[in-house]
Every structure is written in structure tokens, then in C-alpha cells.
Structure 1
Amino acid sequence: MSGVGPVEPGEGTHVQDAPPAPLPQRGPLAGHFERHRRVVLGALITSAVLAGSGYLYVTRPRPEPPPAPPYPNQVTDIAYLRPGTTSSNTASRGFTFEAEVITESGPPVTVTRISQPYAGLSVTSSPRTPFRTKAGSPRKITVTLRVTECGNVPRNAGLPFLDVTLRNTRAMQVHSFILGPQYAQDLSRALQVACSNKFG
């Protein structure tokens, strides 16, 4: 024999079949995984989808918060309408007038208190405080100033004002409202009538 090549079987011999290759060793959970493969794959996909959705939810752009409502003194005004009655009767010395509480915008405003700076005067209102006003719905009120001590009221109220406590969902504030020159004249006249004997 000469040359290079594969060895060939001689006469009366035959090629033996190669033994089958051994199967790879399988772990203890392999059989269990084979039986439950679809369930496990479904659970893995679901977990991945939930994780992705959670990430998108957490990293989503946040909407701008709504603007805060205005402070109550920025949207509320009190207008002097007209004088009512003036009395010099000792038991009921006072001055009654009508006004209008106007809320221009925003949430309702509650008037919780009405007062004034003179120690010799008391203030009551109808409706009684507290009362609410809504935007676009002016509220008419009647205010009565009663003289409790003539010695502590001015003979001439030059620039009188009302201190009004206002509250809305943003804040509570005390605001001084100047009701204008007509109110000052009417109040001065009423105080002179009420305390005519003291001022004389």
C-alpha cells in the first residue's frame, strides 16, 4: 500500500457504526422547566412589561400645578352705596348705611369680621358676619355704626375706613377699605347729630 488516505476495510470486514454520542447532562430543574416553559416565559414577559411601564410612569413629565388662587384682598372690594338712617336718640345713637361687597374672581370670599378704628363706635352688619360672596355676585350689606362713647369719636371723620377680615382658600387677611369722600361726609354728619350735645 502506498499513498496517503483513509484506511479502507479489507475483504470480509465492514465498518462499525460509531456509538451514539452521549446526551448532554440536564440539571435537576430541566424537566420541570420543560413542563412549565410557557408559564415561566409568560411570567418573565409580564415582569418585563410591568418594569418598563413602571419606569415610563416614574419618568413621565409632570403636569404644571394649577395656579394658586388669589389672595382675598386682591379680588375683593367694598363700595359705599348710600346712607340710611341717622339717630340722635340716646339709646340708639348711630349711623346706618348700605354697601356692596364685590368679589371679582377666584373662589368665594368669606367676610368674617367688620370693624372700624374709633374706640367710641361699635359695628354690626346685616347679614351678620361671617357671610360669603361669590365672584360675579355682588352682595349688598347694611352696616350700622353705633356711638358708645361720644368722647372717643372724632368730630370730623377725615378719612374713615372699615377694617374687614377676609378669608378664602388661599389665606385670611385683614384689609382696610376706604369708602370714599361721600362716606366720610355722611359719617361726620351722623356723628355730629348723634353727639350734638357733646360737641356743642
Structure 2
Amino acid sequence: MSGAGPVEPGEGTHAWETPDGPRPSARPRGPLARRYDRHRRAVHSALAALVVLAGGGYLYATRPQPERPPATPPPYPSQVVDITYLEPVPSPGNAPTSSFSFAVLLSVESGPSVTVTRIAQPYPGLSVTSAPAAPFQTKADSARKITITMRVTECGKAPWNAGLPFLDVTLRNTRAIQVHSFILGQRYAQHLSDALQVACSNDSA
């Protein structure tokens, strides 16, 4: 007989088992299986809770922030300053004979402090000085007495019959610098007219 065929295994021999992959581990049964299932569900629940908390924290941290309203700016100085005419007062000892003085009360209602940087008047025949001298500062919720001294420099340009004379006051605070005209009322107009008539009666200016 010629040729070769498959070799038949001899008696008592067997082929080696070569499984393709690892065999699955045996799952516990009975009470052990129930404890295993409970433990697995608890672990899954804890992991799910951590995921929810982490996601919620991320959303909270990345949420759009509400825009803050802009800070309210302080008021303009002319809105909080008032000047009230008080009365005539003696002029300083070194003032010329053609000078006359009167007192006013400057008050600041609110906001930051206000600085008076200049006091003037509209008539070319008069010059103005003040005590205290400008610039000076007044705090909010307070008042300051100021003595205004006017000197006649040219009677022909002075207002003999002033109707509603006013003071031009330059005010400054952290908001703005403003020139504001304060009308001091009829009493001031009358006293100003009387003082001008006395100063210019002999044309001594």
C-alpha cells in the first residue's frame, strides 16, 4: 500500500485544548450573588451621583454672570451748592475807601466736597475779593461764611441801580467744573446800589 494519510491517534492519546480566549469567571450564586448585586448597584449609584454633581458644578461655574449696574456718578456741584446773602459787614482795614463788603453763606447739601476756585461779578467797573480767598473747599452737609469785598474801579461802569445783580462762582468737585451765577435777591441789590452811590458820590474812584 502506497501513499500517506492522516495519522490516527494511538490508543490512550488525546489532543491539547487551545481555547481562543479566557474563560468567563463563574458568577456567584445564592446569598453571595445578592450581596454582589447590591454592592454593584450602590457603586453605580454613587458614580452617577458624582457625575451629576460634577456636571452641576461646571454649569454653575460657567453660568453667565449678571451685569452690574453702573455706579451712580456724584452730583454736579451747582446742584448741591447754595449761596445766601446775609448782610453788609465792615470792610477789611486795608481796603480802599471805595470798597464795601457783605457776607454770604455758602452751603453744600450732599456729595463730595466742593471747591470754590473763583468768585467774580459781571460789572466791569467793580473788582471782587473774598475772605477766605479762593480756592477754598467746603464739605458736604456743612456751610461756610464768606466775606465779599467789592472795590469800585470805575464809577462810570458801575451799576448805579442794579436790578438783579449776581455773583459768578466757579465750582469744582469730582464730577465737574462749573461756572454758576447766583442771584442774591432784592436785599443784596438794594445794599449794592446804596454802597455804589456812597463810593461814587464824590467821584473819588
Q: Give TM-score scaled by structure 1 length.
A: 0.72
Residue of structure 2 equivalent to 1:185: 190
State the shift of 1:55 in Å.
3.7
Q: Is the 8 A contact 2:102 2:149 kept in 1?
A: yes
CA distance in 2, matches of 1:10, 1:198: 157
The answer for the alignment partner of 1:116 in structure 2 is: 121
Secondary structure of the 2:124 match is coil
TM-score by length of 2: 0.70
1:132 equivalent in alignment to 2:137: yes
Q: How many residues align?
A: 162
Change (3 A) 1:186 1:11: farther
Alpha-carbon distance in 1 for matches of 2:198, 2:77: 36
Query: d(CA) in 2 for partners of 1:135 and 1:91?
Result: 35
The 8 Å contact of residues 102 and 137 in structure 1, kept in 2 or not, is answered as yes
- 1:84 match: 89
Question: Pick from 153, 165, 169: which aligns with 1:148?
Answer: 153
Q: How does 1:22-171 map to 2 (within 5 A)?
A: 55-56=62-63, 59-85=64-90, 91-171=96-176
Gaps of 5+ in 2: 1-8, 23-54
Relative to structure 1, is the Cα distance of residues 10 and 83 closer, same or farther in structure 2, using a 3 angstrom cutoff?
farther
Cα RMSD of the aligned pairs, angstroms, is: 3.1
Conservation of the 8 A alpha-carbon contact between 1:104 and 1:136: yes
Question: Percent identity at matched positions?
Answer: 61
Structure 1 residues not aligned, in runs of 5+: 1-8, 23-47
> 2:17 maps to which residue?
17
In 1, Cα distance between the equivalents of 2:142 and 2:11? 120
1:197 is aligned to 2:202 = yes
Contact conserved, 2:91 with 2:149, CA < 8 A, in 1? Answer: no
Task: Tell me how far 1:86 sits from its aligned partner.
Answer: 6.4
Distance verdict in 2 for CA 1:18–1:155, change over 3 Å: same
Q: Indicate how the Cα distance of structure 1 residues 10 and 164 shifts in structure 2: closer, same or farther if over 3 A, else same.
A: farther
C-alpha spacing 1:10/1:128, structure 2 compared with 1 (3 Å): farther
Higher radius of gyration, 1 or 2: 2
